[in-house]
Structure 1
């Protein structure tokens, strides 16, 4: 079976886009601060505990059926440009967040029906688990077997709510259901209204560390967590 790429869960092969080679995700490179110390050999490297984005180059080809090669290329270009997530058939439990897409020029060669082009996907350096998108109870989300993650907290109730993560408390004025997105650092209601000013605390303090996390919420409130589990290696 040919290796496939899924963009927002849509199969490229079923769309008519065939990856010429199996897509291989490059390993992310860690960031270091290099310091040269007089009197010492070599360089001192300070681990910044972050990674550079990764770039996945993919060469696609396609066959025009019922339309011209140029018409098909315009369609694929628009479809690719709007994609937000990338997944591979060889690793179906993981997905990557797309940060930027650069689409190369169309190469028709000598054929009137076959086109080829390259697409460079700039991806977040982490591979995300698909199961990490699910809303979980506190007990299930508190165990993080992967790298530090930036979860979404979903709080339902009425009034001022305290949420404690690993001993650090944050407070939020809750009406019905409130979403706290620690990745985008946004707090909003179910209708999309932003309520950042009602949250007291630091989003960074609400990240899920590797291992066991201690999470508590005020009585009378229901808390669900979308853990956004991820791994760089």
Structure 2
């Protein structure tokens, strides 16, 4: 199978290496997800203490490329210049990495540009955005995902998600709760003061997720989230 990467920039422009005459010479080694911990040696103790922060480190990977023409090399560099990029490796079955930064090391091999790209990636891989309207649904990811939920109804609306209770008061037509942005709003109106609950706990979990109506007249809801994976 041909090994390549397909990239999408924040502005919507796309780039695929093999169709632009840029080729991966060796499939890269991908480091495993590593938790962020700190080990300290307190005075007066014979052993060290390890603190686990519950988060994961960004992942560095290096991918070697080759192309026959410098114009193709410069086109590659131009695409990656100064913008957020989602990178889809062909060997990861449609999942993508979020690229935080990169650097390029060029090696001129008898006039043929060979180069290594050092990527710094977010800790996890991501799938495509899911939109859910069912009260029970399955998340195929294996890491909790932040979510956005749009609740339709009026008045004081209460609901339960995965056994935890949330409420938004004084709703007209609909309200949006975004646990990624930690915001509750409708159009340009901030509804944070009307929100009751721990917004950071509003997450889609791996496996089965359950939404149930509580008090108030909720007519429908829409949940959007991106599955997150250990890969």
TM-score range for the pair, normalised by the shorter chain length: 0.7 to 0.9
Give the conservation status (yes or no) of the 8 Å contact 2:137–2:208.
Answer: no
- Equivalent residue number for residue 149 of structure 1: 145
Q: 1:107 Cα deviation (Å)?
A: 3.4
1:94 aligns with 2:95: yes
Give the conservation status (yes or no) of the 8 Å contact 2:131–2:224.
Answer: yes
Deviation track 1:3-59 (CA, whole Å, cap 9, x = no partner) reads: 111212743211222112113321121111324344543322232211011112112
- Select 1:215's aligned residue among 211, 217, 220: 211
1:139 aligns with 2:135: yes
- Equivalent residue number for residue 124 of structure 2: 126
Structure 1's unaligned 5+ residue stretches are: none
**Under a length normalisation based on structure 2, what TM-score does the superposition of the two structures give?**
0.77
Within a 5 Å distance, the mapping from 1:8-23 to structure 2 comes to: 8=8, 10-23=15-28
For the residues of structure 1 that align with 2:46 and 2:209, how far apart are their CA atoms? Answer: 41
Structure 2's unaligned 5+ residue stretches are: 9-13
Q: Greater share of helix residues, 1 or 2? A: 1
Q: 1:169 Cα deviation (Å)?
A: 0.9
The alignment partner of 2:19 has SS state of helix
For the residues of structure 1 that align with 2:64 and 2:136, how far apart are their CA atoms? Answer: 40
Q: 1:225 Cα deviation (Å)?
A: 1.7
The alignment partner of 2:47 has SS state of coil
- Select 2:30's aligned residue among 22, 25, 31: 25
Give the conservation status (yes or no) of the 8 Å contact 2:154–2:172.
Answer: yes
Give the conservation status (yes or no) of the 8 Å contact 1:101–1:119.
Answer: no
1:109 aligns with 2:109: yes
**Closer/same/farther in 2, CA of residues 179 and 23 from structure 1, 3 Å limit:** farther
- Equivalent residue number for residue 185 of structure 1: 182
Give the conservation status (yes or no) of the 8 Å contact 2:138–2:206.
Answer: no
**Closer/same/farther in 2, CA of residues 46 and 222 from structure 1, 3 Å limit:** same
Q: 1:156 Cα deviation (Å)?
A: 4.2
- Equivalent residue number for residue 11 of structure 2: none
- Select 1:34's aligned residue among 34, 39, 62: 39
More moved, 39-48 vs 176-185:
176-185
**Closer/same/farther in 2, CA of residues 146 and 219 from structure 1, 3 Å limit:** farther
**Under a length normalisation based on structure 1, what TM-score does the superposition of the two structures give?**
0.76
